[in-house]
Amino acid sequence: MPSQLVRKLAANEFVITAEIAPPRGGDTSGMLKAAAFLAPFVDAINVTDNQGANMRMTPLVASGLLVREGIEPIMQLTCRDRNRLALQSDLLGAAALGIHNILALSGDDIGCGDHRQGRAVFDLDSVLLLQTITAMNNGLDMNGAPLSGATSFFAGAAAAPEVEPFAVTRPKLSKKAAAGARFFQTQAVFSPERLAFFCESVQPLDVKVIAGILVLKSARMAEFINRAIPGLKVPQTIVERLKSAVDPAAEGVRIASEMAVQCRSLCAGIHIMAMGRDEVVPQVVAAIHN
């Protein structure tokens, strides 16, 4: 049975996703509470994989717990922490747990996280991981040996509409699509014009675009993004709105809501990144439906 995400995208219905991080410990009560709160407002919930190269519970277990609660996950899977054996093992485990959606990622640099003394693996990159998922959907491991049952994953990949020059990254997106990516979940976008350009550029790839909507909290946060995070660009007009706002956090929600409304006519859905402020997700969703 296809996932809700698959069904809605196939029917050209606008989809909404959000994300949660697995806990830094064995207590999953907070994660499950957050997922239960978000579930009525979204079609699926991303479960991050050691996001920012910071150690947390495996997304395989966290996603399996969401399935048990009747909540549809998108399991993120990074190449940074696992070799080809571990990646394939986790994928088979995901299939056994009823996890259908996989977001294949290379992974953040380990030097950015809380275990900088660790060694990144990168046995595969995101393209090779997507090829492996495609092979497993066809009943084969990445060496071509048969599996005792094919998987049925709906695979996606990351994309960065704001990166410059875009022409440099376009071939990698083509490779991801050719390897089996069925949707792109993008990094945060703040410009409807840039998102429209991106969607037009990748339209020949026949891949659904789910645009990243980051809820800003302050002008300081926006300036940090512009200074320190490659591939993201907050326009100066938005920075000034946050600076002049009486309540910058509330203004950030308004900005996110405005961008979400613009996305209705530009792409297949949105991915809301609330940065721990799950309570604002219903406000952004409500703006779309008004």
For the stretch 223-270, pLDDT in tens is 999 998 888 899 999 999 999 999 999 999 999 999 999 999 999 999
Give the domain range for residue 113. 4-159
Which CATH number goes with the domain that contains 114?
A: 3.20.20.220
Give the whole-number percent of the chain exceeding pLDDT 90: 87
Find the distance separating the first CA and the last CA of the chain, reported in whole Å. Answer: 32
29-55 average pLDDT score: 96
With respect to residue 109, please indicate whether it lies within any of the assigned structural domains: yes
Q: Quick one: pLDDT band at residue 58, thresholds 50, 70, 90?
A: very high
With respect to residue 263, please indicate whether it lies within any of the assigned structural domains: no
Number of domains making up the chain: 1
With respect to residue 113, please indicate whether it lies within any of the assigned structural domains: yes
Q: Which helix (H) or strand (E) holds 206?
A: none
With respect to residue 244, please indicate whether it lies within any of the assigned structural domains: no
Higher pLDDT, 53 or 197: 197
3-state secondary structure of 183: strand
pLDDT given at position 1: 61
With respect to residue 13, please indicate whether it lies within any of the assigned structural domains: yes
With respect to residue 58, please indicate whether it lies within any of the assigned structural domains: yes
- Beta-carbon contacts of 25 under 8 Å, excluding residues fewer than 6 positions away, are 57
With respect to residue 125, please indicate whether it lies within any of the assigned structural domains: yes
The answer to whether the peptide bond before residue 235 is cis (omega within 30 degrees of 0) is: no
With respect to residue 37, please indicate whether it lies within any of the assigned structural domains: yes
Give the whole-number percent of the chain exceeding pLDDT 70: 99
Residue-wise pLDDT for 119-130, tens only, equals: 989 999 999 999
Q: What is the largest CA-CA distance in the chain?
A: 62
